[in-house]
Structure 1
């Protein structure tokens, strides 16, 4: 959006992209993919200048979950009541002081309720989670003090079922928001989500309409991911997934795309050695430890899919090239392992595929990590530090 509040025209965005590439001396052939939001003007701008692009998965997931939450009146009313309760404490320090006293009397730690933000669905998840955690303290508070609204027994049960329903979405949002998440995670994640939403559960009581709407929204908004070559190649070149997540009808197309990309790569001049740095990058220690934590629901589907697809894959396998066939016969690595680390170690074993992996696994699946960087930069270089040089600002950001 421009400074005067107007939405830029696609032609203006396209011109800005062209100017940016020229200013930084970036050859168009080296732009693998541009990550964008779902705005039509942005999609058209990138199409007009022939730059491949992918939508931010987190943004699309936000739209899908919002559709689900807004599809059922009882859930809308429950969320509104929860917001009124949280808002009461946020606007009254005295009420919070009394609430903390009650928490201490009950032997609970002093905690505040989570306020949600409409533009972030998972903040609503955390708000409901905090209400459930403080249910006993809120009940005790309501017996002695006035609240603008109270939750009924049915609404408390509804909160628990909504949290169970949205837990896989929250788990996935954290997963794809890490700096090590790539475009290869999109197809497997959507496949796992759809399978979970198709299953019936005891906790579906009261949230059936929301669950059906969530499934429909995920299917519709991510309907083309399995057919998108950029996602296809990223997934098949990630040894955690390979071609196990593709339907039988699409597997032959995936292999053909891989073979075509392989031929294109071998006929083009080699890339500069500096690009090796991106392949050698391992996962951040903190993120790696977080990724190894057991995932109770969503990612348990991963093992199911690998077991189901093994026999089918062997039956359908057809010789394309020795290198491609040899790679596809490799056993998958664990989900918590880093695919780029695998390719760094095995680049001599698969010399033609390794450059492809470096290119297609370099693209993130969300803009969350870059948004964090811009937010951090905004705290470092502000109106009070407007004379800070670019070099010093970069040093502060890396510190």
Structure 2
């Protein structure tokens, strides 16, 4: 939970190859107001001796403070494709929440059940070996990163057989993925997978 700000510069070479360099990742304990962000960005360019007039555009997320900072600097601004994609996917899933809420919630509960029990983790590893499955840990999702939801679902589907064996041996567990849950998770995976490669947010000022 340490506050920081990263600045990445992108250039195009004479033979039209995109190059990206992270200039700095700076500890930023000050309040993230538009004025403070604007001052930090301008200072970063000055420190690297970059001419603002040669700036083609700057890309950030859509947060009110950073967009206000860019407006105050009068820099050309492009909102982040990755952030917009995250909003679109999140809103799309929200529209289908009556169909997906139980299955996705169950995934989170299963991940939590394994992450808080070394015994279940140990049993999962044994089942993975017995079933010839990859020795992967389970993944939970993050509300601000749609790709993490895809990763969570993908890992649950990959390890479903091992998870089922471990939980069926645990009389204390009430977690169980039904065939309906599995069908929903497969549908979510098929819907999100095609846009997975487009989800990376490149060239953003991150806070």
Tell me the TM-score normalised to structure 2 length.
0.73
**Structure with max Cα Rg:** 1
> Is the helix fraction higher in 1 or 2?
1
1:56 CA displacement: 1.9
RMSD between superposed Cα atoms in Å:
2.6
Shift of the 103–42 alpha-carbon distance from structure 1 to 2, 3 Å rule, reads closer
Q: Alignment partner for residue 3 of structure 1, among 25, 29, 36?
A: 29
Distance (Å, rounded) in 2 between the aligned partners of 1:48 and 1:39: 14
Cα pair 1:33 1:51 within 8 Å, conserved: yes
1:88 CA displacement: 0.8
Shift of the 151–29 alpha-carbon distance from structure 1 to 2, 3 Å rule, reads same
1:135 equivalent to 2:160? Answer: yes
1:154 CA displacement: 0.9
Cα pair 1:84 1:148 within 8 Å, conserved: no
Cα pair 2:120 2:166 within 8 Å, conserved: no
Query: Which residue of structure 1 aligns with residue 175 of structure 2?
Result: 149
Q: Alignment partner for residue 70 of structure 2, among 26, 31, 46?
A: 46
**What CA deviation, in whole Å up to 9, does each residue of 1:220-243 have, x standing for no partner?**
xxxxxxxxxxxxxxxxxxxxxxxx
1:85 equivalent to 2:110? Answer: yes
Aligned residue runs from structure 1 range 1-399, under 5 A = 3=29, 6-8=31-33, 10-71=34-95, 72-146=97-171, 147-173=173-199, 176=200, 365-367=202-204
Cα pair 2:45 2:52 within 8 Å, conserved: yes
Distance (Å, rounded) in 2 between the aligned partners of 1:7 and 1:143: 49
1:166 CA displacement: 0.5
Distance (Å, rounded) in 2 between the aligned partners of 1:11 and 1:112: 42
Shift of the 27–76 alpha-carbon distance from structure 1 to 2, 3 Å rule, reads same
Query: Which residue of structure 1 aligns with residue 8 of structure 2?
Result: none
Shift of the 155–44 alpha-carbon distance from structure 1 to 2, 3 Å rule, reads same
In structure 1, the gaps of 5 or more residues are 178-364, 375-399
Distance (Å, rounded) in 1 between the aligned partners of 2:137 and 2:36: 46
1:19 CA displacement: 4.3
- How many residue pairs end up in the alignment? 179
The secondary structure found in structure 2 opposite 1:70 is helix
Distance (Å, rounded) in 2 between the aligned partners of 1:20 and 1:139: 52
Distance (Å, rounded) in 1 between the aligned partners of 2:101 and 2:130: 33
Q: Which has the higher contact order (CA 8 A, sep 6+)?
A: 2
Distance (Å, rounded) in 2 between the aligned partners of 1:112 and 1:46: 40
Tell me the TM-score normalised to structure 1 length.
0.40
1:148 CA displacement: 4.1
Distance (Å, rounded) in 2 between the aligned partners of 1:105 and 1:149: 22
Distance (Å, rounded) in 2 between the aligned partners of 1:87 and 1:164: 24
Distance (Å, rounded) in 2 between the aligned partners of 1:105 and 1:28: 60
Report the more deviating stretch, 157-166 or 141-150.
141-150
